[in-house]
């Protein structure tokens, strides 16, 4: 898809990967609406790129519907919906130790927000015979994030829902891309672009991969190419894969004294 002059909405677009996706879309000539809880930061990015901003809590379907209405009033029917909002809380202790509230928050942000986005714009896209969903998941949706069971489970569900969208509606002219990066130097890890090195990418790196993948009609977008190799190994020999992940967890415990996503990227 050529995104020039297209109407695009980006959730979680006020910072990190979302802001980079929004900036690059605007540079390509798209009309961008940034939907984010942090309305002041969203407005700042929108002013910078010549877009618009709207306050949106993606755990509330009514707010996603309202954000779509604002974007469409300004820019016309949504051509590309980028579901990017995300979070990570981690396991307090054992793999089932996170409270139900954290599990439900992960579920609503990482899965239901994608469902509600599709519910809001898919019927009109089908009627027009065109449209594209960019669902930002994670390499954890193909592999696993050690130390955050709720994150891993819901990111797997996000990948599955994206696949369902494409299977069901590809013949209707609907494109779907699911983005599965590993570690990125963003505020989610308490990092910025200056921290990126080795396998730790910048948000701009991910955004470039996203729009390249959309242009090529790719379903799975892997900003970290090694994820394809890991996913193949996992599928070919699950027992060996689990053993390797157990060893990686033990290494994290030994070298960092615990499981922290803020440090875990140093091990991969």
Give the residue numbers annotated as catalytic, written as ranges. 151
Distance, CA of 57 to CA of 181 (rounded, Å): 23
Helix ranges (DSSP H) in 50-93: 61-75
Distance, CA of 81 to CA of 168 (rounded, Å): 17
Nearest of 148, 146, 143 to residue 87 by alpha carbon: 148
Q: Please provide the DSSP assignment of 176-239 as one string.
A: EEEE----B-SGGGT--GGG--TT-B-HHHHHHHHHHHHHHT-SEE-SSTHHHHHHHHHHH-HH
Helix axes 113-128, 61-75, angle to 10 degrees: 40
């Amino acid at each position: 898809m050529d995104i020039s002059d297209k109407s695009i909405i980006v959730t979680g677009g006020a910072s990190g990967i979302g802001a980079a996706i929004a900036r690059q879309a605007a540079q390509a000539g798209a009309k961008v609406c940034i939907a984010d809880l942090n309305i002041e930061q969203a407005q700042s990015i929108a002013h910078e790129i010549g877009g618009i901003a709207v306050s949106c809590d993606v755990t509330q379907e009514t707010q996603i519907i309202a954000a779509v209405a604002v974007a469409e009033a300004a820019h016309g029917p949504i051509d590309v919906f980028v579901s990017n909002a995300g979070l990570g809380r981690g396991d307090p202790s054992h793999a089932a130790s996170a409270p139900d509230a954290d599990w439900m928050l992960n579920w609503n942000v990482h899965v239901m927000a994608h469902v509600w986005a599709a519910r809001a714009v898919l019927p009109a896209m089908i009627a027009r015979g065109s449209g594209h969903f960019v669902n930002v998941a994670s390499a954890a949706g193909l592999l696993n994030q050690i130390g955050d069971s709720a994150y891993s489970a819901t990111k797997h569900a996000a990948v599955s829902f994206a696949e369902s969208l494409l299977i069901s509606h590809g013949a209707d002219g609907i494109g779907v891309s699911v983005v599965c990066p590993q570690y990125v130097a963003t505020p989610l890890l308490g990092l910025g672009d200056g921290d990126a090195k080795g396998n730790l990418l910048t948000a701009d790196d991910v955004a470039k991969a996203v729009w390249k993948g959309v242009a090529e009609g790719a379903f799975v977008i892997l900003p970290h190419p090694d994820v394809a190799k890991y996913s193949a190994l996992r599928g070919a020999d699950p027992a060996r894969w689990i053993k390797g992940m157990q060893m990686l967890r033990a290494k994290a415990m030994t070298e960092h004294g615990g499981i922290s996503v803020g440090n875990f990227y140093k091990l991969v």
